[in-house]
Chains A and B, each alone.
Chain A
Amino acid sequence: MNALKQYIDLFDEYRDLIEAQSPALLNTLRISAREQLETAHLPRKGSEDYEATDLEEVFSHDYGVNLNRLPFDADPGETFHCDVPNMSTCLYYSSNDAFHSSPTAERNIGQVVVEPFSMAAVDYPELMTAYFGKLAHMSDPTVALNSLLVQDGLFIYVPDGVIPERPIQLVNIFNAALDMMVQRRLLIVVGKNAALKLLACDHTQSPDYRYLNNQVVEIVAMQGATVDYYDMEESTPLTSRVSSIYVDQHEGSNVLIDGITLINGFTRNNYHVEVNGEHAETHLLGMTIASGEQHVDSHTFISHNAPRCNSNEMFKYVLNDKAVGAFAGKILVKPNCPRVEAYQGNRNLCGAPTAKMYTKPQLEIYTDDVMCSHGSAIGQLDEEALFYMRTRGIGIDEARRLLMQAFVADVIDGVRLDVLKDRLHFLVEKRFAGTLSNCAGCMQTCRPNNNNQ
């Protein structure tokens, strides 16, 4: 069985339609993607770097694909209000893979460009041509599949020296009355000494259908740029997500990527960071709270290609019920890159006998004057701490919850946006309390139509 075949056949049959509905630039990658997929296989469980994850199974389902770019009836801005209290953002929506902006989006006009590819290809052809598809590796079959079928995407550009007043929030919503797969694609270019704070969250509105989000994000951080990318998933047990984030860091840039999975079905997050300039700083944070049969797999690769840069990774998992967690991370320091400091940490709590955790932290170092380390631990809550709390009249469930919250707190504390930090503490608290069952749970606490902050 090769699940990719159905997509290659689909492309062959509807190639004209796909290309007609897409900006010309996107069509340039399709031939090489098609060639790549011809001989490729999706990794199965047990393949290198896929110890616990079977992509073949995820992609083999018969999903619908919206090749005709049919608009969905509802305007997500009307039906969905996910506004973080006290946080004033410029809000954008993507319904499946079509982008909409909300009235708040105008707040950063003149500072930041946020456009669908179809517009950006006309407005910023040089930038699009220079950066689109340049970072993502076509050798990864999921990236090749995205390149084969993608018809639109979102382009975010912060010009040199611009520091926008407000963060950008991108709400991705799955909403279709059928099983569906989308190819989301983002291209983010942050100019010299510019800054960007982006909060993306994935939601699913219909819990009865199977959705698959095959996402590719390319981020270019120019000299001295600062990029914060918060990627939160709060979907449903039937939602699958394969996300590949590629980052190119130039001299003195500072990139923070924070992946948070609260509720999901199946998730594979790939982070691929190329540190190409001196004094660049990389922070990769990840937090997963999984129960039921949730499956979360994170794979990170940081390549230090320049001297005197540093990176810091911390991924934390809390697993309950039959949840499966996996983490594989690699730090590579290339020859002649002295004074690199890299730290990688992975801490996991297994809260149930049936929960499983796989971890593979790796170091590959070719320069001697470096400081690199990794640490990984899988364990349980501290019995003594639990006992201490119980002696002070805190019930066992409450005590466990408090300790689990404390366990993930340092990942949340890495967030460089105070209001978001508070919000995450709140969401995590609800998640552990079991009251955050889906987006609806989240919405109850949001203030609908409150766009005046």
Chain B
Amino acid sequence: MKEIEKPEKGNQIIEEAAQAEYKYGFVTDIETEVIPKGLDEGVVRRISALKGEPEWLLDFRLKAYRHWLTLKAPTWGHVHVPDIDYQDISYYAAPRQKKEGEAKEIDPELKKTFDKLGIPLEEQLRLSGMAVDAVMDSVSVKTTYRERLAELGVIFCSISEAVKDYPDLVRKYLGKVVPYTDNFYAALNSAVFSDGSFVYIPKGVRCPMELSTYFRINAAQTGQFERTLIVADDDAYVSYLEGCTAPMRDENQLHAAIVEIIVEDRAEVKYSTVQNWYPGDKDGKGGIYNLVTKRGLCRGDHSKLSWTQVETGSAITWKYPSCVLMGDHSVGEFYSVALTNNWQEADTGTKMIHLGKNTTSTIVSKGISAGHSQNSYRGMVKIAPKATNCRNFTQCDSLLLSDTSGAHTFPVIEVGNDTSVVEHEATTSKINEDQIFYCNQRGISTEDAVGLIVNGYAKEVMAKLPMEFAVEAQKLLSVSLEGAVG
């Protein structure tokens, strides 16, 4: 009998992947302006002053800071966030800008960083026609395609610029979906947020390109607290992408962001995330604590908000992108793939709050646990008594790839009337051995087979991602699984 040879290419990919581990783990050596560690009112005032903010925003920050002092970190998640010393973190780190006059040119080192990440900042080199806002540590470094978008009336800039250029808009919407009283990390972010993206799509405009923000933590011993605010006015449409990476460090770094989205009448927002913060090494050393509050308000009738996320990074993920469906006939969607390996812990899911009549929501969550990781889906579907004829369908599946990993689901469903229908399904199992055997028979190694099966399993969610991200996300799944089999 002749032994079937494994395809060379397959081996090559595995070798590459094995060496690759976390390919975004480099550190960029650029001058960074960091304010000293520690947090008090003075620091909050200093951040505000550094950014030249108006009085009302400083007030907002101070209120948030004082409220934060009264709160305790939440402990209900199925994650083990150690006691974080909030005085041992620097709350503001900015790549040092050149002096006036040279400001338009961005630092070549910085450009290299974003080139390595595959973020084409130079517009002439761009092929995909995507507008990018790049945020490094605490500040937004460069936003591309601004002028072209401005012709349509689309505002896409960093939130600090928006505060200066469109103060009324920012003031009208900031903190309206996620108030600073929302939770511990939201209060902290509201007090010290440094930058982020601001998007405003005016009435009737369909944004012609995908908008994208790329977040990167670079400086050591800093936390990243960015804030994104997206407003889609009546009949508007925008697809927004978010990506993130961080260097490999032994220490843990904190990322506590807020994303607020407001969707008006008949508008639609599609928000996609590929989260690939540094997950820590094989022994669970280092990695980012990703403690994020994301929420969208479908305020208008017939509005639609769709969250798609691929979560492969971070040592700890605590994240629940939610939809408040306030307008009648509004639609909320949540598609998620969360992959944890080694010692990662992820507690992620969504909340769908149905307040308007005839609102519908769909939740599809796929969890994959390998190594010693813990992966939880936590969700809530709430139908208010006056929200009649609502519909929700939830499906959460978990795949276990090792006997030391864990997969958990914690859904909550509350229905307050007799015309709504809510369905929830969840399954947990390991990869079907028959499927692996089938692949083996046809010369596909077990590792490749697992990669194939996992990608097939996550396909439903991947299909919702924009093209550019789908390819990246698929590769990411295979790389993150490296070493998880056998």
A interface residue numbers (CB < 8 A to B): 48, 51, 335-336, 338, 348, 350-380
Cross-interface CB contact of A356 among B400, B404, B408, B416, cutoff 8 Å:
B416
Per the bound structure, the CA–CA distance linking A29 and B53 in Å amounts to 64
A302 to chain B, nearest CB (A): 14
B282 to chain A, nearest CB (A): 19
Asked whether A372 lies within 8 Å of B429 as measured between CB atoms, the reply is yes
Residues of B within 8 A of A356 (CB): 385, 414-416
Asked whether B413 lies within 8 Å of A378 as measured between CB atoms, the reply is yes
Residues of A within 8 A of B409 (CB): 361-363, 374
Asked whether B403 lies within 8 Å of A368 as measured between CB atoms, the reply is yes
Residues of A within 8 A of B398 (CB): 363, 365
B 386-424 to A, binary, CB cutoff 8 A, 1 in contact else 0: 001000000000101111111111111111111111111
Asked whether A355 lies within 8 Å of B418 as measured between CB atoms, the reply is yes
Residues of A within 8 A of B420 (CB): 350, 378-379
Cross-interface CB contact of A380 among B401, B418, B425, B429, cutoff 8 Å:
B418
Residues of A within 8 A of B401 (CB): 368
Closest 5 A-B residue pairs measured CB to CB? A368-B400, A379-B421, A373-B427, A376-B424, A368-B430
Per the bound structure, the CA–CA distance linking A192 and B339 in Å amounts to 45
Per the bound structure, the CA–CA distance linking A380 and B425 in Å amounts to 18
Per the bound structure, the CA–CA distance linking A452 and B344 in Å amounts to 66
Closest to A327 in B: B413
Closest to B377 in A: A363
B345 to chain A, nearest CB (A): 13
B362 to chain A, nearest CB (A): 15
CB pairs A–B below 8 angstroms (7 shown): A351-B418, A353-B418, A355-B418, A368-B402, A369-B400, A372-B427, A374-B424
Residues of A within 8 A of B410 (CB): 360, 362
Residues of B within 8 A of A376 (CB): 411, 413, 422-425
Per the bound structure, the CA–CA distance linking A116 and B398 in Å amounts to 48
Residues of A within 8 A of B425 (CB): 373-376
Cross-interface CB contact of B415 among A335, A336, A378, cutoff 8 Å:
A378
B interface residue numbers (CB < 8 A to A): 76, 78, 385, 388, 398, 400-430
* With A377-B421, A377-B422 as contacts: A367 and B403 at CB distance below 8 Å: yes
Per the bound structure, the CA–CA distance linking A119 and B420 in Å amounts to 54
Residues of B within 8 A of A353 (CB): 385, 388, 417-419
Other 16 A-B pairs with CB < 8 A, given A355-B418, A380-B419: A48-B76, A338-B403, A350-B418, A350-B420, A361-B426, A362-B410, A363-B398, A363-B428, A367-B403, A370-B430, A372-B429, A374-B409, A374-B424, A374-B425, A376-B411, A376-B422
Per the bound structure, the CA–CA distance linking A379 and B408 in Å amounts to 25
Asked whether A357 lies within 8 Å of B412 as measured between CB atoms, the reply is no
Closest to A375 in B: B425
Asked whether A368 lies within 8 Å of B426 as measured between CB atoms, the reply is no
Interface SS of A by simple majority: strand
Per the bound structure, the CA–CA distance linking A358 and B402 in Å amounts to 33
Cross-interface CB contact of A365 among B407, B411, B418, B419, cutoff 8 Å:
B407
Closest to A374 in B: B426
Per the bound structure, the CA–CA distance linking A48 and B75 in Å amounts to 12
Per the bound structure, the CA–CA distance linking A59 and B421 in Å amounts to 34
Per the bound structure, the CA–CA distance linking A16 and B418 in Å amounts to 53
Residues of B within 8 A of A351 (CB): 418
Cross-interface CB contact of A378 among B78, B406, B421, B427, cutoff 8 Å:
B421
B411 to chain A, nearest CB (A): 6
* With A365-B407, A368-B402, A369-B430 as contacts: A350 and B417 at CB distance below 8 Å: yes
Residues of B within 8 A of A350 (CB): 415, 417-418, 420
Per the bound structure, the CA–CA distance linking A379 and B415 in Å amounts to 9
Closest to B416 in A: A356
B309 to chain A, nearest CB (A): 21
Per the bound structure, the CA–CA distance linking A48 and B406 in Å amounts to 21
Per the bound structure, the CA–CA distance linking A373 and B397 in Å amounts to 9
Asked whether B415 lies within 8 Å of A357 as measured between CB atoms, the reply is yes
Residues of B within 8 A of A372 (CB): 427-429
Closest to B399 in A: A368
Residues of A within 8 A of B423 (CB): 375-379
Residues of B within 8 A of A352 (CB): 418
Asked whether A358 lies within 8 Å of B418 as measured between CB atoms, the reply is no
Asked whether B422 lies within 8 Å of A360 as measured between CB atoms, the reply is no
Residues of A within 8 A of B424 (CB): 359, 361, 374-377
Cross-interface CB contact of A362 among B385, B411, B415, B421, cutoff 8 Å:
B411
Asked whether B408 lies within 8 Å of A362 as measured between CB atoms, the reply is yes
A304 to chain B, nearest CB (A): 12
B14 to chain A, nearest CB (A): 22
Cross-interface CB contact of A373 among B385, B405, B411, B428, cutoff 8 Å:
B428
Closest to B391 in A: A379
Per the bound structure, the CA–CA distance linking A131 and B275 in Å amounts to 52
Asked whether B404 lies within 8 Å of A335 as measured between CB atoms, the reply is yes
Interface centre among B78, B400, B402, B404 (most CB of A within 10 A): B400
Asked whether B407 lies within 8 Å of A359 as measured between CB atoms, the reply is no
A418 to chain B, nearest CB (A): 33
Residues of A within 8 A of B411 (CB): 360-362, 376
A362 to chain B, nearest CB (A): 5
* With A377-B421, A378-B420 as contacts: A369 and B415 at CB distance below 8 Å: no
B172 to chain A, nearest CB (A): 32
Asked whether B412 lies within 8 Å of A360 as measured between CB atoms, the reply is yes
Asked whether A370 lies within 8 Å of B429 as measured between CB atoms, the reply is yes
Closest to A377 in B: B423
Cross-interface CB contact of A335 among B403, B418, B419, B426, cutoff 8 Å:
B403
Closest to B76 in A: A48
Asked whether B427 lies within 8 Å of A358 as measured between CB atoms, the reply is no
